[in-house]
Structure 1
């Protein structure tokens, strides 16, 4: 069983980018690790808690994204995002996420991220309406295919969780991502203050992004976890090569 530390590691070396994640919502389903293993980069495997791994649907508002320690990029640094993610660990014991897709409502952001980091950003028409404690996210993919993938997610933010359970920490205490680029697998570290997690009540869900990411049928079951968060500012470090263990 993996039990993660919610406290951030010290990020050494240069920062390559920084950003703030706001109005973030976690919606997760438990799946068999064998189902997602073929979708992960070489040198990583599904991260498991209680015999299951997890598929996440995560909408939020990106704010003040910028490169290095410089200022936020005007206009392009603020956008809506919804990602479909899996949970990974490599042979060096580094825990992370693997993005199957990342919807964004900025075409230039999507193109730049694909070229620079090989992250599967897509361009979508998106909106988020906040009405008190209720957040209403909508997305409709424009490019690439399948065009029209998306849907609607409505959640009510609840009270702060003073003592998050192991699953909540497992899903949120992720200080890095794994990605495949130029024929190799990389781990990109990040750091931020511990999440302030809140309860979430799912009011409506109509989604086709998870199926489009290679996991049909998952959203047909009720999620095992719905969380909301307070904003957090994060910084990313230089990518590090993942070296698979020799059999």
Structure 2
């Protein structure tokens, strides 16, 4: 299935859950790169129970490099190298039976081997350990992201891209295409044939456009996804502070 109901509620997921977080994170320097793909290319890669969330009848694939800061469980302090590291994810957008629109991750790279093992075990997410770097120019300048997967396979899987943010930053308008792409608060994962849903909460992203150059990547191919020939739609955000809530099983 690939239909996105026109009445799907995209505001309810942005509201803070009435429970205590299990973890806190700060996401910084996010580059959102997106391409459109035909539904019949992406839909077969989803687990049972999830439906592609489409815009204008097309599936959308995201490649998102960024930096994690201050990652810590509730009740514990952040600890240096365990709490600060780079990430990159490959994702698409889904919903579960016409509700709870969220993200399905094809892969996630992290430059922290301990975090990779914990995330694979606790959140059932397909994390990979990678050597990664982020070079920041002075304020208003460019940013250069690099990632090279080490384990587990498939390898090789890498990414190198430079971007220059431009224009003013602003929150996305609900109902807009930009809001569809970036304002996602549910994530889905699967383990042993069971589907799980997690939730995060943060203030709306303040988003700018970005110019991209020198993009070289094989992460999409490693996930079984073809990369369209056209350049990606590029958006940038300085970041948000994030509360992470516990994972729950999704009823069949």
* TM-score w.r.t. length of structure 1: 0.91
Distance 1:15 1:164, change over 3 A: closer
Structure 1 position 37 matched with structure 2 position 47: no
Q: Give the Cα–Cα distance (whole angstroms) in 1 for the partners of residues 12 and 171 of structure 2.
A: 11
> Of 186, 192, 208, which aligns to 2:218?
208
The 8 Å contact of residues 12 and 237 in structure 1, kept in 2 or not, is answered as no
Aligned residues: 242
Partner of 1:154: 162
Distance 1:118 1:219 in 2: 29
After the TM superposition, which of the residue ranges 94-103 and 35-44 deviates more from structure 2?
Answer: 35-44
Q: Over residues 111-149 of structure 1, what are the superposed CA-to-partner deviations in whole Å (9 max), with x where a residue is unaligned?
A: 111122221110111111011320100111111123331
Which of 27, 30, 41 is matched with 2:33 structurally?
27
Task: Give the CA RMSD over aligned residues.
Answer: 1.9
Between the aligned partners of 2:72 and 2:171, the Cα distance in structure 1 is 33
Contact kept in structure 2, 1:8 and 1:175, CA below 8 Å: yes
Superposition map of 1:23-102 within 5 A: 23-91=29-97, 93-102=99-108
Structure 1 residue aligned with 2:230, among 221, 232, 235? 221
1:11 aligns with 2:17: yes
Shift of 1:238: 1.9
CA distance in 1, matches of 2:250, 2:39: 20
Tell me which of the two structures has the higher relative contact order, counting C-alpha pairs closer than 8 angstroms and 6 or more residues apart. Answer: 1
Structure 1 stretches (4+) deviating beyond 4 angstroms?
A: none
Question: Could you tell me whether the CA contact under 8 Å between 2:161 and 2:215 is conserved in 1?
Answer: yes
Unpaired runs of at least 5, structure 1: none
| Structure 1 residue 34: Cα displacement | 2.2
TM (normalized to structure 2)?
Answer: 0.89
* Inter-CA distance 11–125: structure 2 relative to 1 (3 Å threshold): same
How much does 1:7 deviate? 8.4
Note the C-alpha offset of 1:8: 2.5
d(CA) in 2 for partners of 1:24 and 1:172? 10
Confirm or deny: 8 A CA contact 1:117 1:181 kept in the other structure.
Answer: no
The residue aligned with 2:146 is 138
Q: CA deviation at 1:12?
A: 1.9
Q: Show structure 2 runs of 5+ residues with no match.
A: 1-5
1:159-215 superposed Cα distances (whole Å, 9 cap, x missing partner):
224474611110111011011124211110111001000111112200100110110
Aligned residues of 1:154 and 1:204 also touching (Cα < 8 A): yes
Name the structure 2 match of 1:169: 179
